[in-house]
Structure 1
Amino acid sequence: MKAITYRRYGGPEVLEYGEAREPKVGPDSVLVKVRAAAVNPVDWKARAGYLDSVLEAVFPVIPGWDVAGVVERTGPAVTEFAAGDEVIGYVREDFLSRGTFAEYAAAPLRTLARKPRNLTFTQAAGIPLAGLTAYQTLVKVLEVAEGDTVLVHAAAGGVGSMAIQLARHLGARVIGTASERNHEYLRQLGAEPITYGDGLRDRVRTLAPGGVHAVFDTVGGEALTESVPLLAPGGRLASIADQAVVALGGRYVFVRPDPNDLQDLTDIAERGALGVEVSSVFPLEKTADAHRLNEEGHTRGKIVVTVG
């Protein structure tokens, strides 16, 4: 099969396009014919070796954790899916080797759910990692409820844009930080936009004089520390970007595969409450260019690689 691989850690230049062995399918897994795979910051961070202390790399590594595709065949213990089913997945294992930037990907059942019928494969590929991150943070950590006011940092990005939509679905009011050029986009998603940087506290207090009930940080650093005084009494703080949040009384969140959570996202998308903004699309052989663009850090929505 055709795939993207890297044989050593490094920059985008280590990514190679060529032939790779089709993955074996275990008893509790399915083989997915990949139609699209989204690019996430963790992809290039893993490729650069930043995750080496926690994830063993079995070279050559096929990168990628997000996938949308069609079940080609199933393992002998699988009853949940059949050949021809359209699926999405956050296909993260406890090592780096068998990723989704390939014609086929082996996906454990715990990583999969049914693809939203109202989304294209390109759109649906953007849901798993970003959607699960937003969903698990908002629902399971911040426990956002109807009537809450939520501050979302970097709200125009892949996770931030999902967080706005899901928080609105939960009945919350959302204030989102973004550059001026993305303010109209945030309004379309249902958020009240503000610029980040100097004066952030005053801008948030103008909109929420009594403070916010929850802060969802996707940036870390100054954005995180500036958020603490903006919390209302009993307010909750979570970050997916900076473990210093723990010392500030909040929670650090690292997304995990969960088929039930992923199916919830599919259901929400099919009700029209969750969409995916695809900013750029690359063919599989141009994955290195997709990585370069993602590393720039100014993406609105998702960057997606299509296969076939």
Structure 2
Amino acid sequence: MELDDIRAFDAWYEKAGVRATARRTVDEDDTDILKEFFPRRLVPHLGHPLVAEREQPLQRYLSAQHLYQWLNFTSHFEVAVVCRATQRIAENRCGLEVSNTARKNAFKIMVDEGYHSLYSLDVVDQLEKRSGIGALPYDFGPFIRNLDAIGHGYPQHRRLVQLLQVVVFETLITSILVDIPKDPDVITVVRDTVSDHAIDEGRHHAYFSAFFRYLWGQLDPGERRLVARFLPDVIVRSLHPATAPAHAALRQAGFSEDRARLIVAESYHRDAVLRGIRFASAKTVALFEDCGVLDIPGAREGFVEAGLLEEPPT
């Protein structure tokens, strides 16, 4: 699909979340706030035996902190990473010549993402007040520093790396956006907010899939080799779960330092983390393969080494 042929934005003024939906608010029904903050199956440390044996209020506290962490991450990420790169496209500063149609759609994405940041923070505030469970402090700094360290030795390609970051993240399919809206056991405002987000992200997925095809077609052989080298690291760093917030929540919930470290280490062990990353990135990797990225010498081996592809049979 060509960048100008994306039909997903044709009805943006009528259907985008920021245009078509009212502010999502916490249900006044006392039974709704007693539902789950986050599906237990999507919070690895809740399944650890040392946590599972504890009282339900403690588990509920940890679930709330996991939701708050995810919403706070979303609030920061959409602006700091997605809008940063998308603004380059919108303002025709991405290093490629893009049409006015593609630029206007990029501006629409920036509006969407700004709204996602706003309502993510809004939902945290509402749930804190309604549930009585306050959110622990959140620091986005470690994530963005780690992500931006990719390609650090190639400062002349910083713009390209930022474009790859947004392409990767906007083409991922995560369990959160897929599963939460369908889960009746989750607090309604959380389900509705994630559903709104998922609908907007469908448009963004179409845009950045087409954008990568256009970008790849404009790169010279040396740039293609560089991109093929960077992409596995971008995927893994984008999807690797942040364990510091889980550790902080466990400590705040009363676990000792040693036990908190043990719970995190055993809940987020390498094999389980890689399975999750491989699942979420499957469509993104398929996009890269379809474009010919994995045909670059050494590229497929790099994706295999990163755990994003199975080892080819010998």
TM class, shorter-length: under 0.3
TM-score by length of 1: 0.21
Higher alpha-carbon Rg: 2
TM-score by length of 2: 0.21
The structure carrying a bigger helix percent of its residues is 2
The structure carrying a bigger strand percent of its residues is 1
